Amino acid sequence: MEDSNEVTSDYIVIKAMEDGVNVMGLTRGGSTRFHHTEKLDAGEVYVAQFTETTSAIKIKGKAQILTEHGQIESGI
């Protein structure tokens, strides 16, 4: 049996720089859909991984994103 939470990538870290930052997980497969949403306030940190279920993460608002490829800022 295949584990649907199998990790396929390293962690990414999202730090909200303002209240109301939205983090949305999108599904993998034939049609991309939202499957999880978090709302962060300034200073809150969210740690996420890509899995067999999660193929993309959308971030709306001002946030710092740390990945194995470096740091990215959204909402600037």
Residue range of the domain that includes 35: 7-68
Residue 28 counted as domain residue: yes
Confidence of residue 7 (pLDDT cuts 50, 70, 90): low
**pLDDT per residue as tens digits for the range 50-70:** 888 888 899 999 999 999 999
The pLDDT-based confidence of 9 (bands split at 50, 70, 90) is low
Instruction: Please state the separation of Cα 5 from the chain's center in Å.
Output: 15
Count of domains for the chain:
1
Residues found in the chain:
76
Residue at 63 is within a domain: yes
Q: In DSSP terms, which residues pair with 39 in a beta bridge?
A: 22
User: Is residue 76 a part of any domain in this protein?
Assistant: no
**Is residue 75 in some structural domain?**
no
pLDDT at 4: 54
Query: Closest by alpha carbon to 69, among 50, 45, 54?
Result: 50
